[in-house]
Structures are given as C-alpha cells and as structure tokens.
Amino acid sequence: MREDEEEAMTDLLEKALDSKFPAGNSDEQLDRDSAVANSEEKPTHCSSLRASFLASFFTSTLSFFEKDSTSYSVERKPSKSRSNGWVATLKKVVTSGPMRRFQERILGTGRADTLSSTSDIWFLGRCYKLSLEESSNGCDPADGYAAFLEDFSSRIWITYRKGFDPIGDSKFTCDVNWGCMIRSSQMLVAQALILHHLGRSWKRPLQKPYDPQYIEILHLFGDSETSAFSIHNLLQAGRSYGLAAGSWLGPYAMCRTWETLARANKEQAEHEKCKENFPFVLYIVSGDEDGERGGAPVICMEIAARLCSDFSKGLLSWEPILLLVPLVLGLERINPRYIPLLLETFTFPQSVGILGGKPGTSTYIVGVQDNKALYLDPHEVQQAVDIKRDDLEADTSSYHCSMVRHLPLDTIDPSLAIGFYCRDKEDFEDLCTRASKLAEKSNGAPLFTVVHHLQPAKPIPYHDSFQVGAGYNNGVNAEDFDGIGDHVDHEDEWQLI
C-alpha cells in the first residue's frame, strides 16, 4: 500500500470517528491535565450486555495490535509487502486516539468529564473536601482537588505488561486479556507496603534520587522470577487454586494465592537468613472452609493474635497485619443494600482499597465519591521494565497514573475483596470497633462481623506449616480486646445473599 493511500485511509477513518466522538483534548493532553474519567450513571441491562461484548472486542483488538513481535515464540513467515501495508494501516487506525475514544465512549470508562465539585472524595481512608461551604478553613476547593490528584497519582499503578521473560514453561510474554486480577492485587499489596515502610502521607517525590525503599517496593513487582511478587511467582504460588498463565480467576482464589506466596517468602527468608519481603501478617478473613458460600466473613480477634504470634515465633505479642476480606455480595449484580456499607469502608484509616470492577474485568478501587467508585485501571498495555534495587535514578513513570477513572458502584461485580492494613494492635482494635459499628448499621446483612473467639464448630482457618500457637506462651488472648465486638448479634451472621 502506498504511503499516500495509507494516510488517506487513516485520515478518513479518524475523521469519521472524531465526528461521532469528539476528543476535546488529545490523549496526551488528557494525561497532562489529569482529566477525570466518567462512566454512564444508569446503564440498562441491555447496554451492560452490549458493553461487555464491546469490551471483549475492543480489548482483544487493541491488545492484538499492541503486542510486540517478540511476545511470541512462534516463527512467523514473511508476508507480501502489500499485506504488510494493510496491517500497518489497520494497526495505526485501531490503536489511534479516535478509536480509543470510541472504545471509551462505548464502554463508559474514559470520558474526559470531571468529578463532582461539591461532594467529598474518600480516598483510602482520607477525605478530600471539594466544597467551599463544607471546608473547615474556608480554603479554595481547588486546593483539595489538587491534593487529591497528588495523592492519587502517588499510588503504585501496575498494568498489563508485554515483552517480559516467558512465564514458566509457557510461551506467554505478556498478560493482556487475562492478568487484570493479578495486577489489581499487586496494586493493593503495593499500597500496603507503602503504608508499612513510608506511611500514609508519603507522596511520589518529584526529584531524584528516589527513596531507596520506594525503589525496593517497585522492584518487588517487576516482571521476572527474580522479583518476589512478580506475575511469574504469583502464578507459581496459585497453581493449587487454578491460577495459570492465560486464565482468569476470582478475588477469593487471588487472596489465597497471596497467602501461599507470603508463606513461601517467609520460609525462604528464614532459610537464607535474609530480610523478608512480606513484612506483615496476612489474614484472609472468611467464615467457612472455602470462603465462597455467601454470608458474612468473621474477623476473629483470637485468630489475629495467634497469627501475629506465629509470625514472630512468639517473640512479639503483635505484628503489623494485612487483612483481605473476600466477599460475594449478590448473584449477577451487587445487592444494593451493601453499597452504603462499601462506601463507608473507605472512611476507615486502615483501608487499602478493593479488588473489584465490572464482571470479568478487575480493577483496583481506591476511593468513592457519591455513588461512584474511583479506581486505578490495570488494562493499559505497557512495555516491561526492570527496576533495579540500587537504581535510585530509575524511570518510574510507568508505575504512576494521573487519570482518575470511575464507575457507578451499583455496576461493580458482586465478587470482590476488601483490604485493610493495621500497623499495630491499637490500629487493629480501631478497625474492629469501626467494623462492629458498621455491622450495626447493616440491618442484619453485614459485610463482615467481629468476634472474640471462634465458635467451637469452626476450626481456625489457618493455612501455614506452623501450628497455631504451638510451643509458646505469648501472653496475647482475646480478653485483651474487651469491649470490641460484644454488641454484634451473631445469631444471623451467616445470612445468605
């Protein structure tokens, strides 16, 4: 195909798309302006089905053209130059800004609209006041919005990558179309690590050299077997839960996969007498053996205390703890009674977000405003990068995003997992108090409940090679938490959805 024909075809298609879906700004300008994406507020069932189909079509089409030729080990035969010309033209059109805007308009995931200028934003336990009337000090609401954007863009953003080393014995060198749940979970754990090592007030520095701890955290999520929390190692850890390259899994199996990987990391650190990469207890909160029968999971103080003791081999009475709470809050759609409860979890200072999204499409939900869920989207395809532990001048721009996307809370998949990080025992007690009060507001259908002890019929759901509490007296027991959770009615804690 001649160059002038190629350009004419490209221009024609792009003009047609632009006439129906005007951009207003280029993709690059959207990123520079930190534009906030919006979704359709009241989609019908038919439009949801249409969006689901189109999501599959566009994601597959876009990702096909974005894949690097090195992403496949299969040898390709040379084709005729004219065919190559058509392929090049189609690639240019399909991956162009107008086509992406067409995709975002149809799917309702990327329009350049702004968030409400009068409603508060709750973002990972912090409130950003955008209303002048509600501002306690009368400051400009724009300052609150700018502060929110700075906080948002400082979170670790982990997306599809291409061009990394093959995963295990497979030929997969990218995770497009199947790795979004893994990437979402990596973002949640990365946020917990940021809280643990750098604190909630940490913001991405503007100048180099960077903080060594920040670079270390990014290194842990690199795309190779040498990075502790890479997609390669997560796939290896999750084999018993059905996790495999090219397949998709739900939040519960993802949480259990992290439990397996954290245990393996701890055992390796003990064997090699080196620093642990997973520096806190991981507590998967469920109320039954498989965690997927519905009903309310139970945060048990006794279990938390014993897990902390096991983590330190009985040397310490308490340790930092990351709680992951897998939930099923409906059948095909989320039950509306749970939406106010989900909103309130983002007011907890222990919040590290939610693994969730639309059905079959996982995202990392980090905040709420009104009835909208704000999220970081892992579906952007980026080239794999290798952040070295000692490279304090590394380019980390691909791990941060200033595009705030949102979707209606009533459209999220009912299968999700909530995360909480507690730095110490006092922080855990505060979480339990907040959770108990939240359960009181639930009208008999709590997200989860809090108890001191497990009922005798329910064994401690601990999946480690250590025996719980064996061999040492740590001095920690449920009586240390008197006054928390006593008022929760447990007769109906297993309410079916």
Q: What is the pLDDT of residues 270-284, one digit of tens each?
A: 888 788 899 999 999
Mean pLDDT within 73-86: 45
Mean pLDDT within 34-39: 38
**Which region, left, alpha or beta, applies to residue 190 given φ > 0 means left and ψ of -120 to 50 means alpha?**
alpha
Q: What is the pLDDT of residues 442-456, one digit of tens each?
A: 999 999 999 988 766
Annotated active-site residue in 120, 223, 310, 377: 377
Orientation angle between helical segments 180-197 and 251-272, nearest 10 degrees: 50
Strands (E), 124-209: 126-128, 160-162
- State yes or no: pLDDT of 300 exceeds 70: yes
| 189 half-sphere exposure, CB direction, 13 A CA radius | 30
Task: Give, as one character, the DSSP assignment of residue 203.
Answer: -
Q: What is the pLDDT of residues 113-163, one digit of tens each?
A: 568 888 999 999 999 988 655 555 545 566 788 999 999 999 999 999 999
User: What per-residue confidence (pLDDT) applies to 321?
Assistant: 98
User: What per-residue confidence (pLDDT) applies to 460?
Assistant: 52
Mean pLDDT of the chain: 76
Identify whether 219 is a catalytic site residue. Answer: no
More confident residue, 24 or 376: 376
Annotated active-site residue in 27, 174, 175, 180: 180
Which of the listed ranges 49-58, 142-151, 391-400 does the model predict with the highest average pLDDT?
Answer: 391-400
Range from 11-20, 387-396, 441-450 carrying the lowest mean pLDDT: 11-20
Give the pLDDT band of residue 62 (cuts 50, 70, 90): very low
Which of the listed ranges 147-151, 460-464, 480-484 does the model predict with the highest average pLDDT?
Answer: 147-151
Question: Which of 223, 256, 229 shows the shortest CA–CA distance to 242?
Answer: 256
Contact between 356 and 437 (Cβ < 8 Å): no
User: What per-residue confidence (pLDDT) applies to 117?
Assistant: 80
- 63, 69, 70, 74 alpha-carbon torsion, rounded to 10°: 100
Residue 50 structure tokens: 């249409």
Distance (Å, rounded) from C-alpha 49 to C-alpha 54?
9
User: What per-residue confidence (pLDDT) applies to 215?
Assistant: 97
Identify whether 370 is a catalytic site residue. Answer: no
Identify whether 377 is a catalytic site residue. Answer: yes
The percentage of residues in the chain with a pLDDT greater than 70, rounded to a whole number, is 64
Q: Where are the domains of the chain?
A: 3-68+77-111, 121-277+329-421, 281-319+424-497
Residue 188 structure tokens: 């949640």
Strands (E), 314-378: 321-328, 351-358, 361-369, 372-376
- CB-based contacts of 108, cutoff 8 Å, min separation 6: 38, 39, 40, 43, 51, 407
The percentage of residues in the chain with a pLDDT greater than 90, rounded to a whole number, is 55
| CA triple 159-163-164, angle to 5 deg | 80
* pTM score: 0.73
Tell me the Cα Rg of the chain: 24
Q: What is the pLDDT of residues 232-252, one digit of tens each?
A: 999 999 999 988 999 988 999
Annotated active-site residue in 300, 379, 406, 422: 379
Question: Which of 67, 119, 174 shows the shortest CA–CA distance to 374?
Answer: 119
- DSSP labels, 40-88: -SS--HHHHHHHHHHHHHHHHHHHHHHS-GGG--SPPPP--HHHHHHHH
- State yes or no: pLDDT of 11 exceeds 60: no
Give the pLDDT band of residue 488 (cuts 50, 70, 90): very low
Query: Coil, helix or strand for 362?
Result: strand
- CB-based contacts of 318, cutoff 8 Å, min separation 6: 305, 308, 424, 425, 428, 476
